């Protein structure tokens, strides 16, 4: 019987193709190993190494059990955007890319995103009326 503690549970939703996950194993964190989910079945996810300081980028991993993604073994870095969210995502992306300057500050990006958010809220309120 193993005496090592089991990973802490995570609050992440379902694993989907296209998501980007960081491998949180101690040796993998140091390598900055990032995995992209390419396919999901009932029990496992197929992944490709997207980044790894040790040079394994582009390689396919062995199938990973979905239940591992619900623990602290992996950290969700980037979720996929649902098709229904695409127009809204495009508006936010356009606002972010419109920020000018040689080195825009995080505040300028946040202001652009807030402006779009306020426009969307106003549009929704107008549609409700």
Which are the contacts of 39, defined by CB distance < 8 A and separation ≥ 6? 17, 45, 46
Asked if 45 and 15 count as a contact pair (C-beta separation under 8 A), the reply is yes
pLDDT the model gives residue 97: 79
Does residue 9 lie within any of the structural domains? Answer: no
pLDDT in tens, 34-65: 999 999 999 999 999 989 998 888 889 999 99
4-8, 15-19, 78-82: lowest mean pLDDT where? 4-8
95 and 73, same domain (yes or no): no
pLDDT the model gives residue 67: 93
Does residue 5 lie within any of the structural domains? Answer: no
Average pLDDT on 100-127 reads: 88
pLDDT the model gives residue 4: 42
Does residue 4 lie within any of the structural domains? Answer: no
pTM for the structure as a whole = 0.58
Q: Count CB neighbours of 75 within 10 A.
A: 15
Which domain range does residue 96 map to?
Answer: 83-128
Judged on CB neighbours under 10 Å (0-12, 13-18, 19+), 74 is buried
91 and 57, same domain (yes or no): no
Does residue 118 lie within any of the structural domains? Answer: yes
Asked if 19 and 36 count as a contact pair (C-beta separation under 8 A), the reply is yes
11-15, 66-70, 71-75: lowest mean pLDDT where? 11-15
Written as one string, the DSSP assignment of 58-76 is TPBPPPEEHHHHTBTTEEE
Q: What percent of the chain has pLDDT over 70?
A: 87
Q: Please state the domain count of the chain.
A: 2
115 and 71, same domain (yes or no): no
Residue 46, SS3? strand
- CA–chain centroid gap for 21, Å, is 7
93 and 69, same domain (yes or no): no
72 and 25, same domain (yes or no): yes
Residue positions counted in the chain: 129
62 and 111, same domain (yes or no): no
- Grade residue 84 by pLDDT with cuts at 50, 70 and 90: low
89 and 118, same domain (yes or no): yes
């Amino acid at each position: 019987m193993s005496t090592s503690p089991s990973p802490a549970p995570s609050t992440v939703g379902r694993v989907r193709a296209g998501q980007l996950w960081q491998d949180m194993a101690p040796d993998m964190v140091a390598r900055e190993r990032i995995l992209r989910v390419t396919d999901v079945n009932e029990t496992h996810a197929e992944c490709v190494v997207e980044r790894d300081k040790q040079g394994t980028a582009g390689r396919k991993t062995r199938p990973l059990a979905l239940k591992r993604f619900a623990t602290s073994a992996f950290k969700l870095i980037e979720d996929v955007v649902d098709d229904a969210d695409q127009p809204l995502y495009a508006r936010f992306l356009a606002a972010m890319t419109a920020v000018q300057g040689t080195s825009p500050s995080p505040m300028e990006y946040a202001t652009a995103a807030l402006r779009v958010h306020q426009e969307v809220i106003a549009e929704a309120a107008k549609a409700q009326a």
